[in-house]
Structure 1
Amino acid sequence: MMAASYSQMFAGRRILIVEDEYLLADETRYRLEQLGAIVVGPTGQIDVALQLIDDEHVDAAILDIHLEGELVFPVAERLVTLDIEFVFASGYDASVLPDKFKGFVLNEKPIDLENIARALFGPKRDLH
């Protein structure tokens, strides 16, 4: 018997998508909804993402690193403060991450929802 796919763990979860490339954000939204997730956003703007985190219940987030010339790290910091799981999804390698985020998963584009689900909902690793 095969083990269940991690991506099934998206079902019923509220996932924030922070991505400034419309087609990629829309494709990710669609794929998450197909897996039963409730999508918050998507948005490609830091201030809107921060407002969504304040206004909506968010279980986890997928964050693009570069958003229209800005870096997503203020959003990541808010998620850490609220103890909300997230992953970075980017075309850049881990060298762009500040030291305090080095332990977080960086999923290179194109987005692999199975790997993201494993990072968000799988067995936790000790980051300290």
Structure 2
Amino acid sequence: MHSKNYLHLLNGKRILIVEDEYFLADETRRQLIALKAEVVGPVAHVDDALELISSRKIDGAILDVHLGDELVFPVAERLDELDIPFVFATGYDPNVVPEKFSGFTLCEKPTELGKIARALFANGGLDEPQ
């Protein structure tokens, strides 16, 4: 199945966006709203993301790996503890992601929402047959 067929999975979901590039964050926010998702954030710092995770209901998250001089991995660890699915969205080499997160999807920027929807909410994520 083509990944665009998964876009409906975002309908009604609360998606946290952690992204430090304003235009990318805003574009992703607008696309998610058009798909009837509820956007949490976007935020550009680890502390802000952790605050939202502790204070808001979140169904899934899109995480930029590099946030200025910070790396997003403390956010990924917290989401993992709470069993909240997430994907890394990065233009960098995927080898920067620690091995313990190797099972999580890496999407190149700009974010491809069909692929993200499938990774977050389709049973089996990206391992299911196409």
Q: Is the structural similarity TM-score above 0.5?
A: yes
Superposition deviation, residue 110 in structure 1: 1.1
The separation in 2 between residues aligned to 1:122 and 1:70, in whole angstroms, is 30
Superposition deviation, residue 124 in structure 1: 1.8
- Superposition pairs for residues 76-95 of structure 1, below 5 Å? 76-95=76-95
Superposition deviation, residue 93 in structure 1: 2.3
The separation in 1 between residues aligned to 2:110 and 2:25, in whole angstroms, is 11
**Preserved contact between residue 94 and residue 102 of structure 1 (Cα < 8 Å):** no
- 1:31 is aligned to 31
Unaligned ranges ≥5, structure 2: none
CA RMSD, Structure 1 to Structure 2 (Å):
1.8
Higher-RCO chain (CA-CA 8 Å, sequence separation at least 6) = 2
- 2:51 is aligned to 51
TM-score w.r.t. the length of structure 1 is 0.93
- 1:117 is aligned to 117
Q: Deviations over 1:1-59 (max 9, x none)?
A: x9x82011111000000000000000000000000000000001100000000000000
- 1:72 is aligned to 72
The separation in 1 between residues aligned to 2:123 and 2:11, in whole angstroms, is 17
TM-score w.r.t. the length of structure 2 is 0.92
Over the matched positions of the two proteins, sequence identity in percent amounts to 59
Q: Deviations over 1:52-104 (max 9, x none)?
A: 00000000000000001110000000000000000000001221110101111
One-letter amino acid of the structure 1 residue matched with residue 96 of structure 2: V
Unaligned ranges ≥5, structure 1: none
The separation in 2 between residues aligned to 1:123 and 1:9, in whole angstroms, is 11
- 1:22 is aligned to 22
Secondary structure of the structure 1 residue equivalent to 2:123:
coil
The separation in 2 between residues aligned to 1:48 and 1:11, in whole angstroms, is 25
Secondary structure of the structure 2 residue equivalent to 1:5:
helix
